[in-house]
């Protein structure tokens, strides 16, 4: 045996190069050795027959919370790695608002090492922008960057003070790093549980105006112009904010953004009669905003789709709606729900996979998310037509709090490989 691994009968899909064709791929020593339509298997190679399934780069999740350290009752690195592998994810950028927050270089190195120890998932830590993610005093951005932090932010908490945000943008720019903002004006969002409107009024829920998102986006775009730094807006969910970002991009501002599947697949009616699994941050929006997010995926305004994985324990959700913790599990469902926008004609398959691979990898500045000779053999094999139903009780990983419970989807991961080693399927 040579130790080679040969994929045959697959649809090779590589958004980074535009490749989309039937063919084969050869893995040797943990890296892609060759690929193409006329590739022959070396003698003695182990074989994977794809049966026409899509072989693409392992998914790159731009934004996910891990319970560890500090909230292991919600999720551990091991359980998150299992869920990620089941979802075809081989690289994950982990948010810094853990306990303790990732505001110390030793914690950055610790997370990098813990990811390596899983054998299935590269964990790339975000550094805390402020000490303890408290929004008061800027953390040691330079030291965190040197230790391996890929970007900076305060996780699910907005960076409120304008002066602090301006200083952070300017300082992070000196290290070639982007600042990631949770775009929600804190004074307008405080205590809110749902988007302001008829539904929140009828349910008697404390509300957050949708404009809270656009207000902070408008401020930070102005600060990015002033400071010259790269601002990235996470889980953008409203038409007004997207219009501002679209115009700023056209004007040459260093801005990017992502969204998450709930914001292009669900609207506020998913909270039903106080359904806490659908309580998210930012909250689900009206249908016109959902449509605007889908349109922004298609026109390129949105740079990536992230899982926005926010694991919660059952006790975090078994509370009155206004008191329940926001957040939804998203690792195992990321691909399938994104593919819904392929099946409805919003996106091509290549564009959808690009939002999950090459484009987030480019934002993070990492050598992932592509198929090519010499690239790491981080691979996802999936059937885009295979139907299944999301069941919260059977999701892999520790977290069960999916807003998509009961959702019928098409697109199933058949196998995931990390450095040429099968880690799922």
Establish whether 308 is a catalytic residue. yes
Q: What is the 3-state secondary structure (H, E, C) of 214-254?
A: HHHHHHHHHHHHHHCCEEEECCCCCHHHHHHHHHHHHCCCC
What span, in angstroms and rounded, lies between the C-alpha atoms of 365 and 271?
A: 37
Element (H, E) at 115: helix 105-118
CA-wise closest residue to 407 among 396, 424, 395, 419: 395
Contacts of 103 (CB under 8 A, 6+ apart): 96, 127, 128, 130, 131, 132, 133, 139, 140, 144
Cα dihedral 134→401→305→367 (10° resolution): 80
Cβ burial, residue 263 (10 Å; 0-12/13-18/19+): buried
What span, in angstroms and rounded, lies between the C-alpha atoms of 69 and 282?
A: 24
What span, in angstroms and rounded, lies between the C-alpha atoms of 223 and 212?
A: 17
Contact 236, 248 (CB under 8 A): no
CA-wise closest residue to 173 among 232, 219, 132: 232
DSSP for 133-193, please give it: G-SSSB--HHHHHHHT---EE-TTS----HHHHHHHHHHHHTTT-EEEE--S-HHHHTT--
CA-wise closest residue to 24 among 125, 4, 16, 119: 4
Cβ burial, residue 343 (10 Å; 0-12/13-18/19+): middle
Tokens representing 310? 């926010």
DSSP for 9-49, please give it: EEEEEETTTTEEEEEEEEEETTEEEEEETT--PPTT-EEEE
What span, in angstroms and rounded, lies between the C-alpha atoms of 187 and 173?
A: 27
Which one is catalytic: 61, 97, 258, 308? 308
Q: Is the dihedral of CA 284, 288, 289, 290 positive or negative?
A: positive
25: phi then psi, degrees, rounded to nearest 5: -145, 140
Q: Enumerate the active-site residues.
A: 308
């Amino acid at each position: 045996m040579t130790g080679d691994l040969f994929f045959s009968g697959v649809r090779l899909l590589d958004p980074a190069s535009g490749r989309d064709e039937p063919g084969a791929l050869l893995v040797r020593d943990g890296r892609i050795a060759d690929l193409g339509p006329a590739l022959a298997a070396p003698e003695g190679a182990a074989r994977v027959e794809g049966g026409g399934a899509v072989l693409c780069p392992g998914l790159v999740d731009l934004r996910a919370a891990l319970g560890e350290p500090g909230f292991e009752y919600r999720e551990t690195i091991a359980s998150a790695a299992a869920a990620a592998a089941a979802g075809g994810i081989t690289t994950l950028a982990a948010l810094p608002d853990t306990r303790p927050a990732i505001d110390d270089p030793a914690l950055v190195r610790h997370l990098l090492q813990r990811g390596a120890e899983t054998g299935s998932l590269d964990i790339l830590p975000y550094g805390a922008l402020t000490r303890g993610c408290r929004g008061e005093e800027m953390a040691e951005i330079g030291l965190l960057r040197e230790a391996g932090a890929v970007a900076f932010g305060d996780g699910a908490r907005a960076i409120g003070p304008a002066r602090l945000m301006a200083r952070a943008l300017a300082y992070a720019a000196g290290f070639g790093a982007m600042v990631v903002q949770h775009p929600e004006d804190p004074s307008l969002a405080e205590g809110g549980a749902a988007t302001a409107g008829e539904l929140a009024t009828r349910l008697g829920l404390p509300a957050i105006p949708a404009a809270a998102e656009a207000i902070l986006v408008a401020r930070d775009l102005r600060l990015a112009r002033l400071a010259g730094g790269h601002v990235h807006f996470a889980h953008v969910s409203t038409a007004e904010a997207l219009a501002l970002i679209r115009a700023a991009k056209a004007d040459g501002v260093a801005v990017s953004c992502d969204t998450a599947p709930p914001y292009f697949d669900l609207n506020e009616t998913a909270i039903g009669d106080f359904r806490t699994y659908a309580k998210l941050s930012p909250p689900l929006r009206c249908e016109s905003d959902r449509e605007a997010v889908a349109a922004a995926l298609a026109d390129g305004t949105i740079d990536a789709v992230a899982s926005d994985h926010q694991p919660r324990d059952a006790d975090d959700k078994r509370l009155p709606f206004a008191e329940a913790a926001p957040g939804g599990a998203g690792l195992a469902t990321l691909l399938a729900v994104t593919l819904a926008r392929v099946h409805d004609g919003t996106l091509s398959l290549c564009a959808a996979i690009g939002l999950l691979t090459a484009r987030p990898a480019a934002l993070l500045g990492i050598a992932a998310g592509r198929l090519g000779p010499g690239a790491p053999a981080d691979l996802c094999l999936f059937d885009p037509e295979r139907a299944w139903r999301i069941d919260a009780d059977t999701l892999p990983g520790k977290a069960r709090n999916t807003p998509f419970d009961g959702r019928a989807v098409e697109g199933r991961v058949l196998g995931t490989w990390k450095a040429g080693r099968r880690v799922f399927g």
